Amino acid sequence: MAATDAHQAAHQAIDAVWRIESPRLIAGLARIVRDIGVAEELAQDALVTALEQWPAAGVPRNPGAWLMAAAKRRAIDHLRRSKMAERKHEELAREIEVERKPDFEAALDNEIGDDLLRLVFTACHPVLSPEARVALTLRLLGGLTAGEIARAFLTPEATVAQRIVRAKRTLAEKRVPFEIPEGAELAPRLSSVLEVVYLIFNEGYTATAGGDWMRPALCEDALRLGRILAELEPNEPEIHGLVALMEIQASRLKARVGPSGEPILLLDQNRALWDPLLIRRGLAALERAERLGGRGYYLLQAAIAACHARALAAEATDWARIVGLYTELHALAPSPVVGLNRAVAISMAFGPAAGLEEVDRLISEPVLQRYHLLPSVRGDLLSKLGRLDEARAEFERAASLAQNARERELLLQRARTGG
């Protein structure tokens, strides 16, 4: 019994070491072998060796260095066997030389940072589909197993495993270089990375599948990735903007769901349930982003979220400021949904008539034709203006478009009363 427990404890410890070390391990190996699929295999081989040795011998004092040494030995074997041997031998010899130098540790620290960035940019490369980018990023940088990713996205494990295999093959076939993009290429590649992280966060924040409408563990995974990125690229305002946005949104996780699992909208939430630690972190990240001179897509959304986070009660919200931020966001990234949010903010700042005027400008937008929030917002404003018959019709229309059963119920109820 005791032996089994010890064995189990050793396995859990190895899992934990893997979660912590695998991104750096894979990133470092990928630089040597120039193929993230091979790098991952080598890293896993090293892990298997650890699984064989650690339960009996104990976890080494520096498990990361142990794994890296074991994996590098395998990388050398791999290179000797492969056709790349001649080309790479010299490089590897140089690398081993470097390791003997006394300032190796400091050099390695910088190097690891760059390797991790290369790994992030490669895993989020636009040649891959968004689903493949998400799976690969969670696998390689989040240290999640295919099973864990599958459970988080309610997808069969085989599908996720296949997706990862295919993604790695695509990267190899398209000869995607293991590099940090530079110059004009950097901005679009960085937005691809941020998009992947925010996709993961949003899948946790408003799940598109399954009974629960939130999966907080995925939000935590995304936040961890965002925080790592912020450390790797500390001078990039949009990364801090995204981290700020996720921290502030995550601060509301507890308040967003009622006792029977129903969604609770922002202005109806019990603000005492908002997590002050995450709000503080979010506001600090936002300040950092603003200090760096950012005014981008994520920063502006974070700034809007921050207006809500700073208001101790819904009535204390600085709506005029939110209108300004939505106007800026709409100019930067025009979208009817942002326009609709802006109209709501206008109604809160300047009254329902001003809001309605704004909403009516959006009625012909093709994207909003099947979007239940357009008639829902319109109905709400009409109701506030006392035009109850028109409001009822809008709520009915909104209910017919709503996907979520609980939301539909609420809209039908409003359709009956007009209020």
Partner 1 sequence: MRFMMLMIPKGYEKAEAGTMPDPKRVAEMMKYNESLQKAGVLLALDGLHPPSMGARVSFTGGKPTITDGPFTEAKEVVGGYWMIQVKSKAEALEWASRCPGSDNEVIEVRQVQEFADFPADVQDAAAGFSDMQSGAGSKTP
Q: How far apart are CA 10 and CA 115, in angstroms?
A: 29
Which residues between 111 and 170 bind partner 1 (CB under 8 A)? 143
Q: Is 344 in the site for partner 1 (CB under 8 A)?
A: yes
Q: What angle do CA 79, 161, 253 make, to 5 degrees?
A: 120
Q: Is 405 in the site for partner 1 (CB under 8 A)?
A: no
Q: Is 268 in the site for partner 1 (CB under 8 A)?
A: yes
Q: Which residues pair with 263 in a beta bridge?
A: 257
Q: Is 19 in the site for partner 1 (CB under 8 A)?
A: yes
Give the count of beta carbons closer than 10 Å to the beta carbon of residue 412.
15
Contact 255, 279 (CB under 8 A): no
- Cβ neighbors of 13 (< 8 A, separation 6 or more) are 54, 59
- Short-list 45, 42, 20, CA closest to 33: 42
Q: Which residues of 273-291 are buried (b: 16+ CB within 10 A; e: fewer)?
A: ebbeebbebbbebbebbbe
Q: Is 376 in the site for partner 1 (CB under 8 A)?
A: yes
Q: Which of 32, 43, 410, 415: binder of partner 1 (CB under 8 A)?
A: 410
Query: 16 vs 48, which CB is nearer to partner 1?
Result: 16
What would the two tokens of residue 94 be? Answer: 């140089």
Q: How far apart are CA 408 and CA 372, in angstroms?
A: 9
Q: Is 12 in the site for partner 1 (CB under 8 A)?
A: yes
Q: What angle do CA 22, 25, 28 make, to 5 degrees?
A: 145
Residue 228 C-beta: closest distance to partner 1, Å: 4
How many residues of this chain interact with partner 1, rule: CB under 8 A? 47
Q: How far apart are CA 299 and CA 318, in angstroms?
A: 17
Query: 75 vs 340, which CB is nearer to partner 1?
Result: 340
Stretch of 42-50, 175-183, 273-281, 293-301 contacting partner 1, by CB under 8 A: 273-281
Residue 292 C-beta: closest distance to partner 1, Å: 18
Q: Which of 166, 254, 295, 387: binder of partner 1 (CB under 8 A)?
A: 254
Residue 309 C-beta: closest distance to partner 1, Å: 14
Query: 135 vs 377, which CB is nearer to partner 1?
Result: 377
Q: What angle do CA 157, 162, 165 make, to 5 degrees?
A: 130
Residue 238 C-beta: closest distance to partner 1, Å: 17
Q: Is 35 in the site for partner 1 (CB under 8 A)?
A: no
Q: Is 84 in the site for partner 1 (CB under 8 A)?
A: no
Element (H, E) at 77: helix 63-81
Q: How far apart are CA 357 and CA 370, in angstroms?
A: 20
Query: 28 vs 226, which CB is nearer to partner 1?
Result: 226
What would the two tokens of residue 205 be? Answer: 């924040």
Query: 73 vs 224, which CB is nearer to partner 1?
Result: 224
Q: Is 16 in the site for partner 1 (CB under 8 A)?
A: yes
Q: Is 341 in the site for partner 1 (CB under 8 A)?
A: yes
Q: Which residues pair with 257 in a beta bridge?
A: 263
Q: Is 313 in the site for partner 1 (CB under 8 A)?
A: no
Stretch of 91-99, 171-179, 228-236, 385-393 contacting partner 1, by CB under 8 A: 228-236
Residue 90, judged by CB atoms within 10 A of its CB (0-12, 13-18, 19+), counts as exposed
Q: Which of 92, 176, 180, 264: binder of partner 1 (CB under 8 A)?
A: 264
Q: How far apart are CA 183 and CA 127, in angstroms?
A: 19
Residue 216 C-beta: closest distance to partner 1, Å: 8
Tell me which residues touch partner 1 (CB under 8 A).
Answer: 9, 12-13, 15-17, 19-20, 59, 63, 143, 220, 223-228, 231-232, 254, 258-259, 264-268, 270, 272-273, 277, 281, 314, 337, 340-341, 344-345, 348, 373, 376-377, 380, 410, 413-414
